[in-house]
Amino acid sequence: MKISSIELIPVMLPYKAPVSDAWGLYDSVRYSIVRVTGESGLKGYGEVSLAWFGGVHDLCREAQREWVPRLIGLDTSQITYINSVLDECCTFSRRSLLVKAGIEMAVWDLLGRERGLAVYDMLGGRVRNRIALTGAVAMLPPEEMVAQAREAVDAGYRELKVKVGLEEKKDLDTVSRIRAAVPDDIRLRVDANMAWKDRKTARRMMDALYGYGVEIVEQPLDYRDLEGMAWLRNNTPCRILIDEGIWDWRDAARHVLAGAADLFHVYICEAGGIQGARRIFDVGGAFGTGCTIGSMPEAVVGACAAAHVAAAMPNLSVYPSDIRGFTVFAEDVATSAMKVRNGCLELPEGPGLGFEMDEEKLEALRADRS
Ligand SMILES: [Mg+2]
């Protein structure tokens, strides 16, 4: 079906409680919802998500003006061609990949609704029915982090992801307290969000954390320091999961060539959409690098896109993914059967990306009207 309109609608989504990491504290996000309307009037939706740097509203305004005219009249069945047109639009800025992803997933959603197929079926079908997730432990005072860890274990999570990177002594102390507070068979990973300033600091921290059973360390160093990451892989027992360093498949290929990654953390938004994410999985598959899925955190629409990719990729890692961000929002524009139960994500149901858009809620959460 031909595309007759594309609207990038700015929204403000409030968190239930402030979210923290090594970079700061946030109480809401400025995302955009992409509404693609076909010539029959049928609609598909995507999400443009970026939790940092003031969000994506400026980027989306520019895309509405400059990109959308190039896409009107294209057919929803030409997703590969639509990706090529969007790639030309994105050439000079990596952040544009976020906008590309929102538009691309909306086209998948519309195509699926038009054909009566779930997106994972269009990707070759489900290879799993649920996705193992990490339980989140945010950067908080130590006793609150221990309490969050206990709650996550009680909720059924088998691996905890602990935010670290501000103070070495506090981080080690907190992780040791979490280790003592949860059963031995619960795995621990930490996310440093690039906070360790040099490779020797990172090695010292990682050796100590390994002693507390931390197997995976997420983005220990600056995203540009591929040599440092490769050195850590050879000089510490921990596995290195690359998050900030990998946006698209080219980044993934560079990390493979540098020997810098044990695992890729794939974001549909950073990869420029569903096809872009699949290409990272293909790079990982070719070189034996595991792939897990990250969380911006996306709200329901973006999380559904992540869930469909996770369901359909044969080489999703046995290590858990992070598709639980949609649970942190106080309000959302869409609802879905997708839910987190016993530490696993249960997949969305229905055609397209498998959510119900609430148009009234979308109007209510619009950020360009008051
Ligand atoms: Mg991370």
pLDDT digits (tens, 9 = 90+) for 29-42: 999 999 999 999 99
Distance 161 CA to ligand 1 centre (A): 9
Residue 134 lies in a domain: yes
Kindly state whether residues 132 and 154 are assigned to the same domain: yes
Is the confidence at residue 51, as pLDDT, over 90? Answer: no
- What pLDDT is stored for residue 237 in this prediction? 97
Kindly state whether residues 234 and 308 are assigned to the same domain: yes
Residue 13 lies in a domain: yes
The DSSP secondary-structure symbol of 326 reads: G
Residues 304-340: tens digit of each pLDDT: 999 999 999 999 999 999 999 999 999 999 999 999 9
Residue 369 lies in a domain: no
Distance 268 CA to ligand 1 centre (A): 14
Distance 34 CA to ligand 1 centre (A): 25
Kindly state whether residues 90 and 129 are assigned to the same domain: no
Q: What value does the mean pLDDT take over residues 271-292?
A: 98
Rounded (5°) CA angle 361-296-10? 35
The answer to whether the CB of 302 falls within 8 A of the CB of 47 is yes
Kindly state whether residues 102 and 249 are assigned to the same domain: no
Kindly state whether residues 189 and 53 are assigned to the same domain: no
Distance 239 CA to ligand 1 centre (A): 14
Q: Which amino acid appears at position 204 of this protein? A: R
Tell me the CATH number at 347. Answer: 3.20.20.120
Distance 190 CA to ligand 1 centre (A): 9
Distance 299 CA to ligand 1 centre (A): 17
Kindly state whether residues 257 and 338 are assigned to the same domain: yes
Kindly state whether residues 126 and 166 are assigned to the same domain: yes
Kindly state whether residues 27 and 146 are assigned to the same domain: no
Distance 111 CA to ligand 1 centre (A): 31
Rounded (5°) CA angle 128-327-188? 70
Predicted confidence band at 22 (pLDDT cuts at 50, 70, 90)? low
- What pLDDT is stored for residue 370 in this prediction? 52
Number of CB atoms found within 10 A of residue 335's CB: 12
Number of domains in the chain: 2
Residue 21 lies in a domain: yes
Is the confidence at residue 273, as pLDDT, over 80? Answer: yes
Distance 241 CA to ligand 1 centre (A): 9
Residue 370 lies in a domain: no
Kindly state whether residues 178 and 237 are assigned to the same domain: yes
Q: What value does the mean pLDDT take over residues 79-105?
A: 95
Distance 153 CA to ligand 1 centre (A): 20
Kindly state whether residues 111 and 127 are assigned to the same domain: no
- What pLDDT is stored for residue 53 in this prediction? 82
Q: What value does the mean pLDDT take over residues 201-218?
A: 97
Residue 217 lies in a domain: yes
Residue 140 lies in a domain: yes
Measured CA to CA in angstroms, residue 250 lies from 123, 134, 138, 255, 261 at distances of 21, 26, 30, 9, 14
Residue 106 lies in a domain: yes
Distance 50 CA to ligand 1 centre (A): 13
Q: Which residues surround ligand 1, an ion (CB under 5 A)?
A: 191, 218, 243
Distance 81 CA to ligand 1 centre (A): 31
Cα distance between residue 227 and residue 139, in whole Å? 28
Domain assignment of residue 63, given as a range: 3-118+358-364
Kindly state whether residues 258 and 328 are assigned to the same domain: yes
Tell me the CATH number at 41. Answer: 3.30.390.10
Distance 103 CA to ligand 1 centre (A): 24
